[in-house]
Amino acid sequence: MVQLVEAFGHTVVAAVESGPATLEALLEHRPDVAIVDVRLPPTFSDEGLQAALAARRAVPGLPVLILSQHVEQLYARELLADGHGGIGYQLKDRVLDAEQFLDALTRVAGGGTALDPTVVSKLLARPTRADPLAALTERERSVLELMAEGLSNAAIAGRLFLSEGAISKYTTTIFAKLGVVTDDDTNRRVRAVLAYLEATGRSEQ
């Protein structure tokens, strides 16, 4: 991982192997972006995630890209719940595609989000009895899913073979249908995703 990041011109200020050491390094260096494995010694449960969350509580908005072997829905929800940018959640298999991984890293470092498509699918595709997306069309759902991956309107337009203007209209409609009202467009994008995730959590209780 260190060699990969350095090969693309980035500087690694610390490489540690445990949860406590991760938290200490994050607070000491406050890096432009941190790459954190969910499961770290000593127990290999969720030390990495807890270190990242603790660091973000101490340094709000600290950019963190989480790596996990599997989709952990609770972890993804907890990362998104604070409403700040600079968050990524990628499956470790994606690291094999160096360009895609570095793109996610750059996006998170810039204060954006970079959610693995598999994570988004797991979080958004499950129907609920009180589905907050019931009012959305299939196309609007597709736009919201790509929005949750952290893609810009231009990138979504390219993925769906539509104009950027059309995507802008879709996002405005999505915000209105989900009752997301704020002047900050970035926060609206995050809150549109959270509106569904939070409803899903309530329906599962």
- Report yes or no: 98 and 4 within 8 Å, Cβ to Cβ: yes
- At residue 158, the pLDDT reads 93
- Report yes or no: 39 and 48 within 8 Å, Cβ to Cβ: yes
Which domains are seen in the chain, by residue range?
A: 2-117 (3.40.50.2300), 126-204 (1.10.10.10)
More confident call, 177 vs 64: 64
pLDDT digits (tens, 9 = 90+) for 115-158: 888 777 776 655 444 566 778 888 888 888 888 877 889 999 99
* pTM as predicted: 0.62
- At residue 183, the pLDDT reads 58
Kindly state the percentage of the chain with pLDDT values over 90.
30
Mean of the per-residue pLDDT values for the chain? 82
- Residue type at 174? I
- At residue 124, the pLDDT reads 63
More confident call, 50 vs 12: 12
Mean pLDDT along residues 27-41: 92
What is the pLDDT confidence band of residue 24, given thresholds at 50, 70 and 90?
very high
- At residue 75, the pLDDT reads 64
Query: Which residues are bridge partners to 65 per DSSP?
Result: 35, 88
- At residue 204, the pLDDT reads 43
- At residue 205, the pLDDT reads 40
